[in-house]
Amino acid sequence: MAPSRTESPWTSPPRHPRAEAGTGWYPVARSTDVGTTPRQVGAGGQAYVVLRLRPGAEVTALSARCPHRLVPLTAATVVDGRVECPYHGWQFNAEGRCVEIPSLGPVGAPPPRADLSTPWAVEERDGWVWLAPDPTPTSRPPRATSPVPEPVSALPQPAGPVLDNLHPALDRAWHPVALSGELLAGGWVQTRLLGRTWTVHRRPDGALDADPPAWAVAERLGVVWIAPAEPRTELIDVPELADPRTLSAWLPPVRSVTPAGPLADAFLDAAHRATAPSPEVTVPEPAYERGGFSAVQEQPGRRRVTHVYRAPFQLLRREEDLRTGAVTTVLRLLQPEDADSTRVHTCVLLSRPDGTADADALAAAVASAAAALAEDLALLPRLAGGGLPLLPRDELHVRADRLGVALRRTLADLVADCAAAERAAALEERATA
Ligand code: FES
């Protein structure tokens, strides 16, 4: 295979502690172990996937993460001789060039930064696959009867902060911890939030308390909420609930091993169900509001889709048929229980101006919301990392990612705001000590 090289921000600086006899060549796998399923290997401290783009074809080596949302490319598949990332369908050729981004539509060109990096050279010799990450003094790998394969390198990590389920900034926010209907006889429920167990109980005066004590406990929208410390966020407003014509139903809460940040990102992500060839996925500019943002999009057929987001994990999607006035709303609330556990609360609300919303229509809307959620819950554990990267240049954003960018920006602001509040509180405590 011809040597090739492209630059990528995802690879670590080169380290070559075990280059075979100082040649710059690393044995990474037996030839017979490399097929059309990507296999993660390491060479010189850098992580790659190796695979064949057709059965029996020469070996291709590519950097191991998709530059878009850092998905490990061991989850990728080979489609028509290209490597396809399973999240948004970006496709890469043997040189690492990104040749397809479905959300850009048929005429959109992938930006150069979407390319994967490749090692300087890949060779098969004596039944082994060898990689040379950088230019080497020898153009072929050495002859070796029983080389020891290079250890698999860890995937490169984001350079900037990552918001996971136990991030300290989440203490200063409102979180859903149970549906009101989950309160047990006597008015109490035990729940997990931010890696801690909380018992919520109703006092004789009807108000709710938490043990251990929280800054506030509230009951709104049919949900029990806890703010562990003074919140820097707002509770989401759902005006549909004030309309007596609205029918609503909560899906049974479900649990995901995916952190809340990537789950929120998937809810806002219009592109992860796009497939080529299809028109460009258009996403409106979000309007930033206190504690979040909203985005309104007029669609063909006199339809309007509105997304509302409130930090950290309150999301709403409203679809309006402007001809009939029918409105279908999905409210998604995420409870960051533990590092690897998020509880997902979903409410479906249906409003028809002529009062035709009935139990059958509601059941159909609930089934549709449950199917979309099940699809995300099946997909994300294979793809999402330990949280949401907050530094914009740690991922590669395209036009369809506007709401995901706004999500990251709002959460980064929350983290900065909470850090400032912590510093101010510490100063005040020192001054009064
Ligand atoms: S296409 Fe790979 S994460 Fe989006």
Question: Which tens digits make up the pLDDT trace of 170-179?
Answer: 999 999 999 9
Higher local confidence (pLDDT), 276 or 302:
302
> Please, what is the average pLDDT of the chain?
92
- For the segment 34-63, what is each residue's pLDDT rounded down to a tens digit? 999 999 999 999 999 999 999 999 999 999
CATH superfamily of 20-132: Rieske [2Fe-2S] iron-sulphur domain (2.102.10.10)
Ligand 1 centroid to residue 219 C-alpha, Å:
38
Mutate to test the pocket of ligand 1, among 74, 82, 90 (most ligand atoms within 8 A of CB): 90
Mean pLDDT of 4-14: 40
Q: How confident is the model at residue 6 (pLDDT cuts 50, 70, 90)?
A: very low
Query: Hey, whose CA ends up nearest to atom 1 of ligand 1?
Result: 88
Write out the residue limits of the CATH 2.102.10.10 domain(s) in the chain.
20-132
Q: What is the pLDDT of residue 17?
A: 58
Ligand 1 centroid to Cα of residue 414, in Å, is 26
Amino acid 274: pLDDT: 62
DSSP string, 284-325: PPPEEETTEEEEEEEETTTEEEEEEEETTTEEEEEEEETTT-
| 274 or 156: which leads in pLDDT | 156
**DSSP state, residue 105:** -
User: According to the model, what pLDDT value does residue 13 have?
Assistant: 44
* Residue corresponding to tokens 């036009």: 399
Q: What is the pLDDT of residue 8?
A: 38
CA of 329 to the centre of ligand 1 (A): 27
Q: What is residue 12's predicted lDDT score, i.e. its pLDDT? A: 45
Indicate whether 399 pLDDT > 60: yes
Protein residue closest via CA to atom 3 of ligand 1? 69
CATH 3.90.380.10 maps onto the chain at 240-418
Of the candidate CATH numbers 3.40.710.10, 3.90.380.10, 3.90.1170.50, 3.40.190.10, the domain formed by 240-418 belongs to 3.90.380.10
Q: Tell me the CA–centroid distance for residue 256 and ligand 1, in Å.
A: 20
Pocket probe mutation, ligand 1, options 10, 49, 65, 69, max atoms within 8 Å of Cβ: 69
Please identify, by atom number, the ligand 1 atom nearest to the C-alpha of residue 71: 3
pLDDT tens track for 146-158: 899 989 989 999 9
Average confidence (pLDDT) over 387-391? 96
> Closest Cα to atom 4, ligand 1: which residue?
88
Largest Cα span, the chain: 82
Contact 80, 377 (CB under 8 A): no
Cα 18 to averaged position of ligand 1 atoms, centre (Å): 32
Ligand 1 binding residues, C-beta < 6 A: 66, 68-69, 71, 85, 87-88, 90
Quote the ligand 1 centre to 178 CA distance (angstroms). 33
Mean pLDDT lowest for which of 1-15, 41-55, 185-199? 1-15
At residue 242 the predicted structure's pLDDT band, cuts being 50, 70 and 90, is confident
Tokens describing residue 177: 């911890």
Distance 106 CA to ligand 1 centre (A): 18
Rounded to whole angstroms, the Cα distance separating 104 from 34 reads 32
- Mutational test site, ligand 1, from 88, 103, 115, max ligand atoms within 8 Å of CB: 88
pLDDT of 32 above 70 = yes
Residue 86: its pLDDT value, please?
Answer: 94
Percent of the chain predicted with pLDDT > 70: 94
User: Which residue from 62, 63, 65, 68 has its CB within 8 A of the most atoms of ligand 1, so it is best to mutate?
Assistant: 68
Q: Ligand 1 centre and the CA of 153: distance in Å?
A: 21
CA separation (Å) from 145 to 27, 126, 127? 11, 8, 9
**Cα-to-centroid distance, 65 and ligand 1 (Å):** 9
- What's residue 19's pLDDT? 78
Instruction: Give the pLDDT score at 352.
Output: 85
Q: 3-class secondary structure for 5-22? A: CCCCCCCCCCCCCCCHHH
- 70 Cα nearest atom in ligand 1: 3
Say how far apart CA 243 and CA 246 lie, in whole Å: 6
pLDDT tens digits, one per residue of 350-388 = 998 877 778 999 999 999 999 999 999 999 998 878 899
Q: Is 310 left (phi over 0), alpha (psi -120 to 50) or beta?
A: beta
Lowest mean pLDDT: which of 196-210, 266-280, 290-304, 311-325? 266-280
Least confidently predicted of 70-74, 105-109, 242-246, 275-279: 275-279
pLDDT band at 4 (very low <50, low <70, confident <90, very high): very low
The pTM of the full predicted model, rounded to 2 decimals, is 0.92
pLDDT at 275: 63
> Hey, which of 85, 103, 273, 382 would you mutate to test ligand 1's pocket, going by the most ligand atoms within 8 Å of its Cβ?
85
| 58 Cα: distance to centroid of ligand 1 (angstroms) | 25
The predicted structure's pLDDT at residue 363: 95
